[in-house]
């Protein structure tokens, strides 16, 4: 302050306060909310739980080590079980086919002097047409002198997914407690014993069974049924179910009302099939139902066991003709139903 400027005269404090002109700029700077005590002290932020040392940033801070470990193990188990289930459900089906048996000839040499086990090519190719693996199941002999083994037919039932009983020699009347009326109808008792055991092992393992021709007759015998040893002799009014045309011998079948096949082929209550057999079901076995009969003479042409997911016998030969035939019944739906049952019951 300059020495030339006089000091302002002192004012006596009279106790009165004079109004000071308001400064508009100052008013704008004053907050609208009233001041509170200690407003100059900043409010402390809400306290948060401290992150444990080494805890991943993505992990919930309130998650205990035990909870985290349990979730980790649960996720790992789910991933492993999903992978295992995918492998099981996508695994190619393995279908067993019973063997035909060629017995040694008395004066035979070479292969004719040996016991041969084989399957007909058409039955294997029919099953394989649905992209499944086919295995012929040989007979087993735990008491063999040359090569004894501990393998049993139940081992095949355990490891395979389904069974097809193929056609071939007659079923022996001895297998259903009847005397043979003619020597040529004696059948193959050895094969009967082998296939009957195989049939019951697969049923006990809850695996599906499909019998073709002889296989249909064997299923009936397996449950206590009997057979006509020769249709022409036992049922004179019947049509010819076998002749020299063999795989070109056709006749019509009619599906029984309410049957599984009747529902499957609802648009075709009567259909043409390739049926070649001189024996047939006479007395129906226990817990079996008739699925189809010959349209003309009512000879049984298909049966089903009621107490299993899929055990069915067809007297005709679906493997002897091409699928999608305009004239003959396309039995692919039957094969697919059998294979679906095999997939559903293999675990």
- Give the separation between CA 59 and CA 111, rounded to whole angstroms: 74
Which of the 8 DSSP states describes residue 328? B
314 DSSP β-pair partners: 212, 302
Tell me, yes or no, if 200 is annotated catalytic.
Answer: no
H-helix segments, 186-331? 189-204, 214-222, 231-234, 260-264
Which residue in 266, 263, 234, 261 sits closest to 316, CA to CA?
261
Which residue in 236, 227, 163, 231 sits closest to 198, CA to CA?
163
Tell me, yes or no, if 251 is annotated catalytic.
Answer: no
Active-site position among 295, 319, 321, 331 = 319
Active-site position among 195, 201, 213, 216 = 213
Which residue in 268, 319, 258, 330 sits closest to 295, CA to CA?
268
Which residue in 243, 238, 236, 217 sits closest to 302, CA to CA?
217
Do the beta carbons of residue 286 and residue 296 sit within 8 Å?
no
Tell me, yes or no, if 213 is annotated catalytic.
Answer: yes
Active-site position among 241, 251, 317, 321 = 317
Judging by DSSP bridges, how do beta strands 280-281 and 288-294 pair with one another?
unpaired
Q: Which residues are catalytic?
A: 213, 317, 319
């Amino acid at each position: 302050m300059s020495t030339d400027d006089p000091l302002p005269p002192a004012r006596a404090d009279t106790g009165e306060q004079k109004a000071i002109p308001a400064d508009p700029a100052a008013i704008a700077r004053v907050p609208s909310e009233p001041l509170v005590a200690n407003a100059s002290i900043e409010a402390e932020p809400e306290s948060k739980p401290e992150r444990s040392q080494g805890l991943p940033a993505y992990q919930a801070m309130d998650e205990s080590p035990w909870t985290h470990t349990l979730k980790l193990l649960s996720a790992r188990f789910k991933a492993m079980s999903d992978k295992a289930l995918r492998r099981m459900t996508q695994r190619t089906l393995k279908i067993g086919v019973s063997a035909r048996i060629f017995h040694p000839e008395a004066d035979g040499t070479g292969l004719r002097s040996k016991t041969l086990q084989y399957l007909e090519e058409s039955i294997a190719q029919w099953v394989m047409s649905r992209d499944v693996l086919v295995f012929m199941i040989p007979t087993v002999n735990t008491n063999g002198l040359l090569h004894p083994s501990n393998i049993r037919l139940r081992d095949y039932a355990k490891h395979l997914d389904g069974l097809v009983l193929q056609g071939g020699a007659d079923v022996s009347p001895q297998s259903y407690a009847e005397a043979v009326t003619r020597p040529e109808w004696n059948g193959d008792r050895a094969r009967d014993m082998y296939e009957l055991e195989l049939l019951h092992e697969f049923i006990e393992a809850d695996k599906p069974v499909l019998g073709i021709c002889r296989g249909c007759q064997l299923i009936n015998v397996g449950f206590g049924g009997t057979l006509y040893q020769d249709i022409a002799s036992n049922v004179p009014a019947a049509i010819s179910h076998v002749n020299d045309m063999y795989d070109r011998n056709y006749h019509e079948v009619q599906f029984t009302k309410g049957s599984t096949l009747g529902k499957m082929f609802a648009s075709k209550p009567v259909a043409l099939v390739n049926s070649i057999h001189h024996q047939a079901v006479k007395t129906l076995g226990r817990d079996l139902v008739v699925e189809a009969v010959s349209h003309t003479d009512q000879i049984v042409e298909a049966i089903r066991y009621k107490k299993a997911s899929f055990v069915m016998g067809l007297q005709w030969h679906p493997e002897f003709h091409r699928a999608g035939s305009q004239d003959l019944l396309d039995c692919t739906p039957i094969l697919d139903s059998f294979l679906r049952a095999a997939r559903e019951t293999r675990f």
